[in-house]
């Protein structure tokens, strides 16, 4: 029995002897901190893995100039240009001043190109891939961030919606987008060609940004507009999984039978009048329409659903389209530079559909669309017409909708109006 337990006792004794002696200091190994630099990544490529050449498109350059000196045959360059011009890529030519990047293999002494990165704009870029058996050309996008934003403002004397927005957005493209979004949101209730000093607006919207820089308006989710003392609300709401619309504070769809204007946010150069001095004929006559001045080529929209009963040309009207909407209303659009594809007599058009483009054909001194409006066969001023209200949403959805908009409306009501700042001219 003693022999059986001896190994255990011996080991225990050794442990006790070790504990009874002096403790030896524990030496810690010195570990040097190695800092690994962050890789340089642009357009989804780790640039540290390549020899990087940066260049800029010069005056008169084509893709042949851009690819010269990188080991490509003219045949390969032609194939790359052909595939870049494809509708999915949309790069038919390169623009002067555009910076581009050439990526080469680090170990390739011949300096042959592997990839070319060409930015189309702040978001879209084109990648030419020469590493495969067949040349691949793709349009890609930088990742975007979506952020909720709020904007408000007021209309002052000799001002308009664009001026009020421009002070805050500081980007001409975003200003134009926002003006169109707001005008589109209230297009059935507010005449944006008759805004008054003191009109105010508040909008909750989403903003798209890339690499921390905003570049576009995503969508408007809710808004408020005070026009000539009347307040209008709009809220985006999903009726079901397939239909999303804009509704007012009472649950009525904001879409109405007719848009207030056939062009997006422009200006009225001449209104409906029984006596106007004609700028071409140099005589006084009735002007039974409303002229909307806009740059040549601006899309002209059908203001309501209907059927085209004429798409033709006449000496006075120039290129024009006439649409019958129902047994009561007919509209006409004059002086077009041309018709939209597929627009001809007999076709059905939808509200907001492009039917032609602003021009100055016929008796016109400058680019504009003369919009004419018939009610029961008589031409009237459409801006004075009281159209029937929209149909409210089903009663079964209304309680949920009103509960949904309650906090959003409270938020809109509490938002302050950003004042319009008049900048003093420098002496």
Higher-scoring residue by pLDDT: 263, 225 = 225
Judge residue 263's burial from the number of C-beta atoms within 10 Å of its C-beta, 0-12 exposed, 13-18 middle, 19 or more buried: buried
What does the block give as tokens for 279?
Answer: 């700028």
Q: Is residue 260 within 8 Å of 187, Cβ to Cβ?
A: yes
Taking residues 20-43, what's their average pLDDT?
71
Q: Is residue 101 within 8 Å of 154, Cβ to Cβ?
A: no
**Whose structure tokens read 């040549």?**
296
Phi, psi of 217 (to 5 degrees): -90, 130
Beta bridge partners of 145: 209
Q: CA distances (Å), 266 to each of 139, 204, 261, in order?
A: 33, 23, 9
| pLDDT in the model for residue 21 | 53
> What confidence tens digit (pLDDT) does each residue in 297-306 have?
999 999 999 9
What does the block give as tokens for 136?
Answer: 């691949």
Is residue 4 very low, low, confident or very high in pLDDT (cuts 50, 70, 90)? very low
Residue 80's nearest CA partner among 95, 68, 63 is: 63
> What confidence tens digit (pLDDT) does each residue in 77-88 have?
999 999 999 989
Judge residue 346's burial from the number of C-beta atoms within 10 Å of its C-beta, 0-12 exposed, 13-18 middle, 19 or more buried: exposed
Taking residues 101-109, what's their average pLDDT?
88
**Whose structure tokens read 């056939």?**
262
Taking residues 140-159, what's their average pLDDT?
91
Query: What is the overall mean pLDDT for the chain?
Result: 84
pLDDT above 70 for 246: yes
Is residue 14 very low, low, confident or very high in pLDDT (cuts 50, 70, 90)? very low
Residue 341 half-sphere exposure toward CB, CA atoms < 13 A: 0
How far the first Cα of the chain sits from its last, in Å, is: 112
Taking residues 279-307, what's their average pLDDT?
76
Helices 172-185, 161-169: inter-axial angle, 10-degree rounding: 130
Residue 408 half-sphere exposure toward CB, CA atoms < 13 A: 23
Q: Is 381 helix (H, G, I), strand (E, B) or coil?
A: coil
Task: State the Cα–Cα distance between residues 368 and 290, nearest whole angstrom.
Answer: 10
**Whose structure tokens read 């690994």?**
36
pLDDT above 50 for 146: yes
Q: CA distances (Å), 381 to each of 347, 377, 378, in order?
A: 26, 13, 10
pLDDT above 70 for 283: no
What is the pTM for the complete model shown? 0.67
Q: Which of 162-166, 268-272, 389-393 has the lowest mean pLDDT?
A: 268-272
Residue 417's nearest CA partner among 149, 117, 155 is: 155
């Amino acid at each position: 029995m003693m022999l059986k337990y001896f190994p255990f006792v011996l080991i225990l004794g050794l442990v006790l002897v070790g504990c009874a002696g002096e403790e030896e200091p524990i030496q810690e190994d010195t570990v040097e901190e190695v800092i690994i630099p962050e890789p340089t990544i642009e357009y989804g490529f780790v640039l540290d893995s390549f020899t990087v050449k940066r260049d800029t498109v010069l005056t008169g350059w084509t893709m042949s100039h851009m690819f010269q000196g990188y080991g490509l045959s003219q045949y390969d360059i032609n194939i790359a240009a052909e595939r870049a011009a494809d509708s999915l890529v949309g790069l038919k030519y390169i623009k002067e001043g555009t910076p581009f990047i050439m990526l080469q293999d680090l170990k390739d002494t011949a300096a042959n190109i592997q990839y070319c990165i060409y930015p189309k704009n702040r978001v879209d870029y084109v990648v030419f891939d020469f590493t495969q058996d067949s040349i691949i050309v793709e349009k890609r996008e930088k990742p975007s961030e979506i952020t909720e934003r709020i904007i408000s403002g007021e209309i002052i004397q000799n001002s308009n919606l664009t001026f009020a927005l421009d002070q805050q957005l500081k980007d001409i493209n975003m200003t134009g987008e926002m003006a169109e979004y707001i005008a589109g949101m209230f297009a059935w209730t507010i005449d944006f060609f008759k805004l008054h000093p003191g009109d105010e607006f508040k909008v909750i919207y989403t903003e798209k940004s890339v690499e921390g820089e905003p570049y576009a308006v995503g969508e408007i989710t809710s808004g408020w507009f005070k026009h000539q003392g009347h307040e209008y609300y709009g809220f985006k709401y999903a009726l079901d999984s397939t239909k999303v619309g804009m509704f007012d504070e009472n649950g009525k769809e904001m879409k109405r039978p007719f848009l207030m204007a056939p062009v997006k946010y422009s200006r009225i150069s001449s209104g409906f009048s029984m006596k106007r001095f004609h700028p071409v004929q140099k005589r006084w006559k009735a002007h039974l329409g409303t002229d909307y001045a806009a740059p040549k080529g601006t899309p002209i929209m059908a203001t309501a659903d209907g059927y085209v009963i004429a798409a033709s040309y006449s000496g006075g009207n120039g290129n024009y389209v006439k649409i019958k909407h129902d047994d009561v209303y007919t509209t006409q659009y004059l002086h077009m530079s041309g018709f939209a594809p597929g627009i001809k007599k007999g076709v059905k058009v939808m509200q907001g559909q492009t039917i032609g483009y602003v021009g100055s054909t016929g008796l016109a001194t400058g680019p504009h669309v003369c919009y004419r409006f018939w009610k029961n066969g008589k031409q009237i001023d459409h801006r004075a017409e009281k159209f029937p209200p929209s149909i409210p949403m089903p009663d079964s959805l209304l309680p949920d909708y009103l509960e949904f908009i309650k906090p959003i409306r409270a938020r809109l009501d509490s938002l302050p109006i950003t004042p319009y700042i008049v900048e003093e001219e420098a002496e």
